[in-house]
Structure 1
Amino acid sequence: MQRTRQEAIDGLLPEQREQLILTRLRAEGRVLASALAAELQTSEHTVRRHLRDLADQGLCKRVYGGALLASPADKPAAVRMGEAVDRKARLALAAVSIVRPKQIVLLDAGSTNVAIAAALPDHADLTVITNSPEACARLLNRPGITVILIGGRIATGAAGSVGATALLQVQQIRADLCFLGACALDPDEGVAAFDAEDAELKRAMIKASGQIAIALTSEKLMTAAPFSVAPATAVDHLFVEDDVPAARLAKLKAVCDNVEVARS
C-alpha cells in the first residue's frame, strides 16, 4: 500500500530532513524555519539545528527567520576566470549597452567584469578606472579608452587591489558609472562579498559613482556571503541570465530599478 506524503514526512530520519531542507534551499535560494517546521511536522528548534549544521558545512548562511543558500563564488580567481566563459560574455554584451561616450567608468574586479572590459566599445573616449589587473590587460592599447589601474595589495580571492591604498584612490574618484562585482545578491539581504576589505572597497566604489550596475550569473542570485556591501535597492542596473525563473525575476525587479535579461 502506497504511503501518503504526510506518512513519508513523518518517517524521515534526521539526515533525510536535512537533505530535504538542502534540496529546498537549492531550488528556492531561501527557506523560512517556521514554514519548514510546519511542513516537516517538527519544531522550529529542530529546523534551526539542521540549518546550523548546514551552515557549518558552508552550504548556507543563516539569516533572520531562516537561511539563504551560500554563494558558490568563494573559489580562487584563476578557477572563476575559466568558468562559464560564454555565459559571462553574453552578460557583458548586455551590460555595455548602458555605457555612453566620454564616461568615466569604474570597473571592479571579478571574472564577469573582465568580460565587460573586453566588451567595452572602442572609440568611445572612455576613461576606465579599475582595480583588476586582468581587466586592465584587456583594455591596454584599445583605441579611445584611457585606462587607470588602482594600486594596492592584490587579494588572491578577488584578483584585484584592496586595502588602504586602493581605498584612498577610489575615494578620490567621481565616476559616471560603476560595474560592481558581487559574490552574492538577494533582494532582502542585498549585495555581499566574501572578503572584508573587498566589501569595504565596493562600498567606496558605490559612494564614488553616479550609477551602479551589476552583471551576475544565475548561481549567485538569491545567495549569501559573509560581508554586506549594500542593499539591493542601491543597484541601478542588474543584468541576469535568461534562465532566471519568473518568480525570482519578479522579486529582483521589485527592488532594482532596471533588470535586464541577457538573451542567448
Structure 2
Amino acid sequence: MLTTQRKSLILDILRRDGQVVAKRVAEDFSLSEDTIRRDLREMAAEGLLKRVHGGALPVSPDLPDFSARRAVTSDAKQRLGALAAGMVKAGQLIFLDGGTTTAEIARRLPRDIAFIVATHSPTIAAELEHHPTAEVILTGGRLYKHSMVATGAAAMSAISQLRPDIFFLGVTAAHPVHGLSTGDFEEAAIKRHIARCAVETYVLLTEEKLDLASPCPVLGIGEVSGLIVPEGIAEARLSPYRVLNGAILVA
C-alpha cells in the first residue's frame, strides 16, 4: 500500500470514528505500528490531524479574534443567514448567538413582520439598530471579548427568564463522534444553557467546520433540531451527520 493511500484511509478512519488508534490501524493494514506512527507524525506536521499518545484526534480549529473574523465574509455565510432568517415567523422570540455567521441572520431578518430578537452579543444587537420591526433584548454578563458575547452567572440568570422559539447556535467545529464544540469552556456552557431554554435549536455550519473538534463540547449532533449547511458538500461527507440528525437544511 502506498503512503498516500494509507494517509487517505487514516483520514477516513478519523472522520468516521473521531480518533485513530495506531495499534488498531497497524493491525488492520498488516503493517508495523512504527510505520503508522510515522504516518501520523507526518500528517500532524501537515496540519491534517492532532497527535496524541497512542494515535490521533481531529485538528482543533484556530480561533482568530472577532475583528479578524468579522472582516471575512463569504457567499456561504450569507446563504446560511438568509435561510435561517426565512424561518422566523411573526410574533416569535428568537435567540441569536454571537459570531459572524449569525450576524448574517440579523442582516437578513424580515422587515415586514414583528418579532423579538434576544442575544447575549452586543455586536449582534448593534446589527439591529435600524431594523424597523424587531424588538431587541440584550442580556448582560461578563464579556468574553474573543467572541463578543456575555458569559457567566449573570448571563445565565438573564437567559433563564426567556423561552425562545428558535435558538440559532454558532460553533467552531462539528464532528459525528465529538459533536458540536467551541474553544472556551464558559462560552460552551452558555450555548448549552440557551439551547435548554429554547423550543428549537438550529446550528449553522460552514463546510470548513465539519469533521473537526474544538476543546469544549456544546451539544451532540442529535441534540439539536437541525443543521443548516451550504450547498455543494458531498453527500458522503454529510451522511454520518444524517444518521444522527435527519433535519439537515441546505442553503
Pairwise TM-score range, normalised by the shorter structure: 0.7 to 0.9
Deviations 1:187-241 (A, max 9, x none): 2211111000000101101111000011111010111001111111012121111
CA shift for structure 1 position 152: 1.6
- The answer to whether the Cα contact below 8 Å between 2:48 and 2:59 also exists between their aligned partners in 1 is yes
- The answer to whether the Cα contact below 8 Å between 1:179 and 1:213 also exists between their aligned partners in 2 is yes
- The answer to whether the Cα contact below 8 Å between 1:123 and 1:145 also exists between their aligned partners in 2 is no
2:143 aligns with one of 132, 150, 154: 154
Deviations 1:82-120 (A, max 9, x none): 224322111111122221111100111111011111111
What is the distance in 2 between the residues matched to 1:259 and 1:197? 28
> How does 1:1-264 map onto structure 2 within 5 Å?
6=1, 8-9=2-3, 21=7, 25=11, 29=15, 30=18, 32-33=20-21, 34-35=24-25, 38-39=28-29, 41-43=31-33, 47=36, 60=49, 67-262=56-251
Structure 2: any 5+ residue segments left out of the alignment? Answer: none
Rate the CA distance shift 1:22–1:161 in 2: closer, same or farther, 3 A.
farther
Q: Give the AA of the match of 2:70.
A: M
What is the distance in 2 between the residues matched to 1:73 and 1:120? 29
How many corresponding residue pairs? 247
Q: Give the AA of the match of 2:151.
A: V
Helix, strand or coil: the match of 1:192?
A: strand
Deviations 1:135-169 (A, max 9, x none): 11111131110001111222122221112211211
Helix, strand or coil: the match of 1:178?
A: strand
- The answer to whether the Cα contact below 8 Å between 1:73 and 1:220 also exists between their aligned partners in 2 is no
Rate the CA distance shift 1:36–1:144 in 2: closer, same or farther, 3 A.
farther
How many percent identity over aligned positions?
33
Larger mean Cα displacement after TM superposition, 188-197 or 66-75: 66-75
Helix, strand or coil: the match of 1:180?
A: strand
Rate the CA distance shift 1:54–1:119 in 2: closer, same or farther, 3 A.
same
What is the distance in 2 between the residues matched to 1:260 and 1:218? 13
What is the distance in 2 between the residues matched to 1:91 and 1:111? 11
What is the distance in 2 between the residues matched to 1:149 and 1:131? 6
CA shift for structure 1 position 31: 5.3
Aligned-residue Cα RMSD (Å) equals 3.2
What is the distance in 2 between the residues matched to 1:56 and 1:154? 35
Rate the CA distance shift 1:247–1:66 in 2: closer, same or farther, 3 A.
farther
Helix, strand or coil: the match of 1:223?
A: coil
